[in-house]
Structure 1
Amino acid sequence: MSEMQNKAQGEGRILDRIFVRNLVLPIAIGVYDEEQGVTQKVGFTIEAEVAAGVSPKGDNIEEVPSYDDLANAVKNIVAAGHINLVETLAARIAERCLADKRIVRVLVRIEKLERGPDAVGVEIVRSRPT
């Protein structure tokens, strides 16, 4: 069970979630000299909690946020060009996801897959201001 699931259930509410896991893209990211002018493989996991009552009542995609929306948020942000910090990238993705009023909380995990012996990165959780 993810941290978001534990917290939501601990607060007495159960929210639906949509997610994208293990999306890997070659992107331009990093502050070090060896990271300039090259791309590196970066893994993304996004989990978004959907506001209570949001459901596809008419079985139409327009009625709910979609995992395609999450993946496209990542792709559009990284397509804009080089980003120095993984933290900046994570914050931009979270902000883009929360722009959809139907999403109330989002977890963004970013892993640089070509740095160090294992993946390194950041994970952030952001909520819609109440």
Structure 2
Amino acid sequence: MSKAPAEPQSASAQPASTQPEIVAQRVVIRDLTVSCSIGVSDEERTRRQRLRVNLELLVEPLPPKHDNINEVLDYGVLAEAIRRRCVAGGVRLLETLAEDLAAICFGFPQVLEARIRIEKLDRYADIGGIGIEIERRR
């Protein structure tokens, strides 16, 4: 004799969760624009170029308990560190700069993953942006 399949419980019969499940938390810095000296050729490095930087960071999803900046990643501190590195120069490749920016991001202990996109905005007249995107995981 086969048993009849169990009836699914109705939503009202299941216990209601009092707290939503914490799945993920991301910090985003979008369209940070800086002017810097970067490029493979001497000609390219003699004039400053605009770069657009976008970051998406997966961070420890711990909501603040006391509404205090010390409980979360400080976006202002992160943005300033990114700006400083970009304008400091000393690199030829966007790929190298992207790795440097990843290292800055992972200097914040809450960061688990980083997606970094850097685009040169003025390199080619007929291209709105040309660049690199990397993803790194701790």
Structure 2, unaligned runs of 5 or more: 1-21
TM-score (normalizing by structure 1): 0.81
Deviation of the 1:121 alpha carbon: 0.1
Q: Among residues 4, 25, 28, which one is paired with 1:16 in the alignment?
A: 25
Runs of 4+ in 1 over 4 A off after TM superposition: none
Q: Counterpart in 1 of 2:80?
A: 72
Structure 1 residue 124 corresponds to structure 2 residue 129: no
Q: Which has the larger radius of gyration?
A: 2
- Range with bigger deviation, 102-111 or 54-63: 54-63
Structure 2: how far apart are the matches of 1:70 and 1:125?
17
Give the root-mean-square deviation of aligned CA atoms. 1.5
Maintained 8 Å contact 2:51/2:120: yes
Q: Please show how residues 73-88 of structure 1 align to structure 2 within 5 Å.
A: 73-88=81-96
Count of paired positions: 115
Q: Please show how residues 41-60 of structure 1 align to structure 2 within 5 Å.
A: 41-52=50-61, 54-60=62-68
Percent identity of equivalent pairs? 37
TM-score (normalizing by structure 2): 0.77
Structure 1, unaligned runs of 5 or more: 1-12
Structure 1 SS opposite 2:46 = coil
